[in-house]
Amino acid sequence: MKNIIFFLFSLISFQSLSNTTVLYDTGKATNIKNPFKVDSSSNIRVANSDPIEVLSSQFPIISDQWELATFSSKAINFPDMVSPIFIVGCDPQSLDWVNFRKPLIEDKKALGFVVNCPSYDDYYTFKSAIYPIVVQAASLNKLTEILSHNKYPAYIHSRAIEQ
């Protein structure tokens, strides 16, 4: 049995050698462009970009679905929601709301999002005014559909949407 397997293996090996092509370098080949080097003529220069310019290029962040308004608390059921979130805008009412809710936001370690922010400067000013609370600018349009809710400022946890 071993002899048969060895014979078949040898036959297959020698058969593949008959089709072998040898490659060699004649010295006349041109260099292949380095695939890992970033082309300096590219319009996208992420590696050398200024992070402030990259961030400010995302603005304005305007959502046609979120609106500044007052509302009554609304019961929801998201038992898997680990961390509460809050949604505010770049406006004086939202700033007052965050300062009023600051102890709760810090205690619960809520994730913050800013919607309807016209410029990076407005976002930076708002972010600086509520420090050490951290917020991220985002449109969150899909969230209005998931929650069936579109008003801010809002504090959202696993059981309710509150103002």
| Cis before 118 (ω within 30) | no
Taking residues 108-120, report their average pLDDT: 93
CB 77 within 8 A of CB 101: no
The pTM for the full model equals 0.66
Integer Cα distance of 143 and 150 in angstroms = 8
pLDDT digits (tens, 9 = 90+) for 61-94: 888 899 999 999 999 998 998 999 999 999 999 9
Q: Percentage of residues in the chain with pLDDT exceeding 70?
A: 69
Instruction: List, in order of start, the domains of the chain with CATH numbers.
Output: 51-162 (3.40.30)
